Structure 1
Amino acid sequence: MKITQLRNATAIIELGPYRILVDPMLAPKDALPALKFGGGRARNPTVDLPQTSEALLDGVTHCLITHCQKGHFDHLDRAGKRWLRERGIPVICTPHDADYLRGRGLNVQPLASSAHAPQPFLRGQVTTVPCRHGRGAVALLMEHGVGYFIEMPGEPTLYLSGDTILTPRVADFVARRQPDVCLVPAGGARFDLGHEIIMNAEEVMRLMRVTTGSVVANHLEALSHCPVTRRELVIAARAAGVAERLWVPGDGETVSFTRIVEGSGIILLHSS
């Protein structure tokens, strides 16, 4: 399995013959509205896509959407919709999002069920895990979406959390299923009022205490309401003694994970 970070929550996950684009925000720098009133009302995204993005996108076979309604342009913007529509890329989503995406002219291939139980996914299976996109009053305004636990033959298991804070349900799922790799948002996004709407550095460290696998952090340094930096996250991981299991890829960077089965039947995870 390879995970290539493009920008913010947009990534490409390579699983066997599939290259899955997650939550495409493809607009150029400053093309989208500000998300806070303070800080000079900086427009978004605050950085451009990496120069290699066009080449990286060329091989995409599928798209996977965690959430997209109620104005969540940082997970599917107009440029992302246009790119998917022009290429006819199959877009996998929950039944909840299917009609919305069809209305945008996309090639929608929704999951069979909205139940949070294993169901077919490409050559493997997927389980959806409910997200909680914030707490308190601000959560009432958010689209909560789902995360995906993906199991593919011969590949490490992957929990793609989607935009969520660390809820008891998320922590319990990770503790029980012990994904080989968790891909989680870590930018601590928040508006002018209210609490964080995704994990911050402290919550990522708490997540790492309930999993023995690797954690890949994204949703960093690309939106004006995400204050956590990559450097802060790495420093927190060193202080918590978990730095060897945390990956914080830069935009355009790829991290690889391989499942190796030894003669004893013990499965090891090699990462690079």
Structure 2
Amino acid sequence: MKLQLLRNATLKLDYAGLTILIDPDFAPKHSRPSFTGRSPNPMTDLPVSTDEILRGVELVLVSHLHADHFDKVAQDLVPKHLPLVCQPGDEARIRSFGFSDVTPLTDELTIDGIQLTRREGNHGSGPVLEKMGQVMGFSIEADGEPSIYWAGDTILYPPVRETIATTQPDIIITHSCGAKWDGIHIVMDAEQTVEVCGIAPDHSKVIATHMEALDHATVSRHDLQAYANAHDIAKHRLIIPDDGETLHLTAPNS
């Protein structure tokens, strides 16, 4: 498989012969308001053009409808005929954007030999949960490919730990910028990301994304790497890709 981090949560995945776009946010740098007063968002440009990002895409996955996961620019530019998988409850709104082939991931779904399984997520804790709304993660599996657990916009809490323990994924993709809302973490921070490395199977690789793009983040790539180093997490165990970087990954037994 080939995995390219574009920016924040936006990924392009070549997997089992299918090219998948995950959570497209195509907004130009500084085109949306600040969350904290530190900077307009997103804080960085996309590393490549939207034409290049969309080239070859055959399936779109949208975890939820926050602007940094499916923004107005992407809603306009992503071809409306492409099959799009979303969380239950978002399908009507996505169809209102003009998309014609929208399927909610209620439990499991198989597309061209690729199995998608919905996973639970908590986009924060306590009183902030209602403000953030429902989100989902998902597992991706296919014969001959590494199994993926894309945790999404969630903190580390019991259902995430249970998913890791029961599915034993080869690849775990975390959102690790430590973003806060009303002073409460709404995604994983450095401590929780390193904890994921500790509870993951020995063969797993943890790929930390969703960093250095939004001004309510509290953890940079450098911060996360320094924390991981201090806790003896090997660099082959925790991968922190740059925007635009492409990773080539194989199943452990291949």
TM over 0.5: yes
State TM-score, norm by structure 1. 0.87
Contact between 1:130 and 1:144, CA under 8 Å: does it hold in 2? no
Q: Deviations over 1:178-234 (max 9, x none)?
A: 10001110000113x231000001000111111120011111000111121111111
Residue 223, structure 1, aligned to residue 217, structure 2: no
Specify the SS of the correspondent of 2:165: helix
1:64 alignment partner in structure 2: 61
Q: Which amino acid aligns with 2:73?
A: A
Structural mapping, 1:61-210, within 5 Å: 61-68=58-65, 72-85=66-79, 88-111=81-104, 114-115=106-107, 118-191=108-181, 193-210=182-199
Specify the SS of the correspondent of 1:182: strand
Gaps of 5+ in 1: 261-266
CA distance in 1, matches of 2:81, 2:195: 40
CA distance in 2, matches of 1:146, 1:79: 22
Specify the SS of the correspondent of 2:214: coil
2:224 alignment partner in structure 1: 233
CA distance in 1, matches of 2:50, 2:91: 27
Deviation at 1:119, TM superposition (A): 3.3
Q: Deviations over 1:146-182 (max 9, x none)?
A: 1111111110000011100001110111022110001
1:263 alignment partner in structure 2: none
CA distance in 1, matches of 2:48, 2:9: 17
Q: Which runs of 4+ in 1 moved over 4 A?
A: none
Q: Which amino acid aligns with 1:120?
A: T
Query: Which of 51, 54, 67 pairs up with 1:54?
Result: 51
Specify the SS of the correspondent of 1:3: strand
CA distance in 2, matches of 1:161, 1:93: 14
Deviation at 1:34, TM superposition (A): 1.3
Deviation at 1:93, TM superposition (A): 1.5
Deviation at 1:256, TM superposition (A): 1.2
Query: Which of 243, 246, 250 pairs up with 1:254?
Result: 246
Deviation at 1:53, TM superposition (A): 5.2
Contact between 2:81 and 2:101, CA under 8 Å: does it hold in 1? no
2:26 alignment partner in structure 1: 26
Deviation at 1:52, TM superposition (A): 5.5
2:4 alignment partner in structure 1: 4
Contact between 2:3 and 2:248, CA under 8 Å: does it hold in 1? yes
Q: Which amino acid aligns with 2:248?
A: S
Gaps of 5+ in 2: none
CA distance in 2, matches of 1:129, 1:165: 13
CA distance in 2, matches of 1:103, 1:138: 28
- State, as a whole percentage, how many aligned pairs show the same letter: 35
